[in-house]
């Protein structure tokens, strides 16, 4: 990783602007509401480059306000790519994102890759296993077994080498691992062991992970969610009600189910906002935990009061 480990945080921006090669990628990870997009714009203004999205929710075109995608005004300040380019109902994987990233890179121009999806950054800097697509009937069978047998029993049917590598309490991880095993006859751990070289090895990039003060971040989340509702998030949810499918990844946007419940008369608006804030804080906690465990080699950038 190209940022000196002992560098003071106030020296980061001058270092990125003056001392890095003009084409060196800059990666910015961090929890929701920690100021990643603002920092990316600041870096683009100082050091140049194109801002590319590494957030699994901001890829969906149906959400602008609710996922805090860069505004049209932000996009006028610097080139942006991979935002809002995926339609409702599309199954968009880490592998598809990585392929889109490869196509979006412009030779000779610095990429500034910003987002809160740790798996995207992991695939980018560590590589991604070339696992064949899982047939629809296999996915349906695993989903049916999950509904009938429950997560704990399903996890026990995974191959032994997966048990040591997968969070067995994470339904998405267990489901994915079992789909791969049933479709290929090989554990997802074995596939990952054959991972090809990464697109951007960590040693060749400037990688920052924003370490947000918990209380400061919680307050920002509450303020931002309220601003989102006042700024059009409720109208966005209303526009998507007719096509709503809880299983669709697009409709797993944080805060969307709570606002939908308000529109359907289940919650009053204050309750919906309060629950949306709680969901967002829980999401931020999961992100911060993931970053601490998986991004210990990244430069830790404190943000807060």
Please report, for the domain that includes residue 274, its CATH number: 1.10.287.890
Residue segments in the chain with a per-residue pLDDT below the cut of 70: none
Q: Tell me, what's the pLDDT at 75?
A: 96
In a domain, 91, yes or no: yes
Q: Are residues 20 and 116 in the same domain?
A: yes
Structural domain that includes position 101: 9-128+200-212+298-303
pTM summary value: 0.85
Q: Are residues 208 and 74 in the same domain?
A: yes
Q: Tell me, what's the pLDDT at 14?
A: 93
In a domain, 3, yes or no: no
Q: Are residues 106 and 185 in the same domain?
A: no
Q: Are residues 189 and 89 in the same domain?
A: no
In a domain, 87, yes or no: yes
Q: How far apart are alpha carbons 260 and 102 in whole angstroms?
A: 36
């Amino acid at each position: 990783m190209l940022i000196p480990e002992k560098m003071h945080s106030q020296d980061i921006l001058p270092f990125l602007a003056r001392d890095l090669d003009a084409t060196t990628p800059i990666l910015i990870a961090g929890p929701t509401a920690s100021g990643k997009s603002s920092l990316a714009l600041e870096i683009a203004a100082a050091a140049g480059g194109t801002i590319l999205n590494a957030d699994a929710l901001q890829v969906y075109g149906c959400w602008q306000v609710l996922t805090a995608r860069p505004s049209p005004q932000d996009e006028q300040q610097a080139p942006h790519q991979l935002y809002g380019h995926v339609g409702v109902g599309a199954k968009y994987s880490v592998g598809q994102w990585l392929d889109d990233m490869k196509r979006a890179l412009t030779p000779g121009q610095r990429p500034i890759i910003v987002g809160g999806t740790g798996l995207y950054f992991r695939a980018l800097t560590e590589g991604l296993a070339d696992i064949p697509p899982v047939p629809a009937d296999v996915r349906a069978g695993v989903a049916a077994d999950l509904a009938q047998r429950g997560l704990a029993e399903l996890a026990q049917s995974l191959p032994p080498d997966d048990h040591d590598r997968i969070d067995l309490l994470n339904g998405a991880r267990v489901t994915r691992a079992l789909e791969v095993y049933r479709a290929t006859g090989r554990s997802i751990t074995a596939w990952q062991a054959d991972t090809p070289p990464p697109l951007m090895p960590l040693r060749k990039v400037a990688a920052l992970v924003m370490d947000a003060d918990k209380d400061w971040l919680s307050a920002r989340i509450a303020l931002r969610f309220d601003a989102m509702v006042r700024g059009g998030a409720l109208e966005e949810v209303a526009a998507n009600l007719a096509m709503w499918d809880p299983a669709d990844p697009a409709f797993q946007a944080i805060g969307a189910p709570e606002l939908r419940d308000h529109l359907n008369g289940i919650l009053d608006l204050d309750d919906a906002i309060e629950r949306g804030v709680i969901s967002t804080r829980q999401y931020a906690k999961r992100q911060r935990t993931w970053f601490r465990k998986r991004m210990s080699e990244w430069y830790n950038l404190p943000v807060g009061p």
